[in-house]
Structure formats: C-alpha cells, structure tokens
C-alpha cells in the first residue's frame, strides 16, 4: 500500500488530454514539492516534473503538473503513442524521521 495514491491505469486516444492524479496527506504533498517520473517499458525512470509544475529541459510542454492541497496531478495534452508508459508521483514525507514516498504508479495506455 503506497503512501501516495494513484489510479493503477489511465488511457486515451492520440491527441487527447489525459490527467493522472496523486493523492497524499499533509505530511507529504500538503507540505512539500511533488515530482513526477515517467518509465517507458524496459527502461529506467526519467524525471518529467519537479517542484510541482516545473519541467526539466528537454521535456515537452505537453506535460504539465499542478498541486492543490494534499493532491497533485500530471496532465498530458496532445497524447502520442510514445507517451505509453508508467507514471509515478513522488514527494518528501515529514512524518517520523522523514522519507521520500512514491505513488504506486499509473500505467498509461494510448488506444
């Protein structure tokens, strides 16, 4: 059971806009930045979004992040077949001695 809750799956057709949610609590998302990683099949993860809504250089502006309260979202617009991947949210959690926590991941299928 992950500390951050994501839907296990999402889907969309090419060109559509899809959103992936990530729900946490006051000790993680509510008080810290959210990061999003993309993992293409058989590859290492890649950072997509940092500090809630910032994109590293090279990440297309089709990817955007937002945060409100104890929840965060990743939006992908103009969906492409190469966006089919697993997506993970991650945040620092202040509880106890502190730790980073990942969401369980969302498998995005491009129909």
Partner 1 sequence: EVQLVESGGGLVKPGGSLRLSCLASGFTFSSYNMHWVRQAPGKGLEWVSSISRSSSYIYYADSMKGRFTISRDNARNSLYLQVNDLRAEDTAVYYCATEKSPTAFDFWGQGAMVTVSS
Query: How many C-beta atoms lie closer than 10 Å to residue 73's C-beta?
Result: 19
The pair of three-digit structure tokens given for residue 59, joined into one six-digit string: 């990440």
Q: Return the residue of 14, 60, 78, 98 that touches partner 1, per CB under 8 A.
A: 98
* 60 is a site residue for partner 1 (CB under 8 A): no
Q: Return the residue of 15, 44, 61, 81 that touches partner 1, per CB under 8 A.
A: 44
The pair of three-digit structure tokens given for residue 79, joined into one six-digit string: 């969906």
Q: Return the residue of 9, 14, 26, 47 that touches partner 1, per CB under 8 A.
A: 47
- Smallest gap, in angstroms, from Cβ of residue 66 to partner 1? 17
* 69 is a site residue for partner 1 (CB under 8 A): no
């Amino acid at each position: 059971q992950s500390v951050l809750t994501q839907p296990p799956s999402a889907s969309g057709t090419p060109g559509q806009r899809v959103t992936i949610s990530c729900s946490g609590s006051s000790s993680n998302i509510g008080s810290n930045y959210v990061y999003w990683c993309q993992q293409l099949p058989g590859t290492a993860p890649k950072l997509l979004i940092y500090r809630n809504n910032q994109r590293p250089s090279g990440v297309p502006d089709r990817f955007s992040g937002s945060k409100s309260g104890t929840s965060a979202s990743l939006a992908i617009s103009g969906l492409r077949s190469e966006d089919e991947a697993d997506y993970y949210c991650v945040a620092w959690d202040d509880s106890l001695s502190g730790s980073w926590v990942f969401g369980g991941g969302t498998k995005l299928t491009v129909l």
